[in-house]
Amino acid sequence: MKNLFVFAFLSVSFANCGQDLGYQAAIQGQWEATHWAMANGETRPVESVSFDFNGEAYSAKLGQKDEVGSFRIDADKLYTTADGQKEIMVKIMKLTPDSLVFEMNRGGVQEVLTLKKL
């Protein structure tokens, strides 16, 4: 009986590892930035900041910079790999049908980017 309990506990524990939070389906579509703040309270301009997630591909406009590539989601982490670049990761703090919030670390500074679905 004790072994059955241990097996059941381990099964439930491993089942929760790398769980699918439904983000892969929910993130699909076009997103436009509405607010971008740094930990010290400063804000960044959000004009011309947008993302488009389609299948496992994405495109982004970050001011004057355009990028395209692939993405993957593991639990609450979004990994993007722009063509010819290394993979980067941001944390998905919130994802609802109409809003998306990323937590990022750029050069040691924590930033939060909020987007709305178009």
pLDDT at 106: 87
Which residues, other chains included, contact 76 with Cβ-Cβ below 8 Å and sequence gap of 6+?
21, 23, 91, 92, 93
Average pLDDT value for the chain: 87
- Please tell me the predicted confidence (pLDDT) of residue 20: 63
- Domain count for the chain, please give it: 1
In one-letter notation, the amino acid at residue 96 is T
Residue burial 53-66, b: 16+ Cβ < 10 Å; e: rest: beeeebebeeeeee
Kind of pairing, strands 88-95 and 99-106?
antiparallel
The share of the chain scoring above pLDDT 70, in percent, equals: 83
In a domain, 51, yes or no: yes
Assigned domain for 102 exists = yes
Residue range 46-103, pLDDT digits in tens: 999 999 999 999 999 999 999 999 999 999 999 999 999 999 999 999 999 999 999 9
7 Rama class: left (phi>0) / alpha (psi -120 to 50) / beta: alpha
| Position 81 in a domain | yes
Residue 6 falls inside a structural domain: no
Q: Which structural domain, as residue segments, surrounds residue 112?
A: 20-117
Report which of residues 3 and 36 the model is more confident about: 36
Percent of the chain with pLDDT over 90: 80
Q: Give the lowest-confidence range in 5-14, 26-35, 60-69, 76-85.
A: 5-14
Examine residue 86 and state whether it is found in any structural domain, yes or no: yes
What's the token pair of residue 8?
């059941």
Token look-up 């994405």 returns 58
CATH number at residue 73: 2.40.128.280
Domain-embedded: residue 49: yes
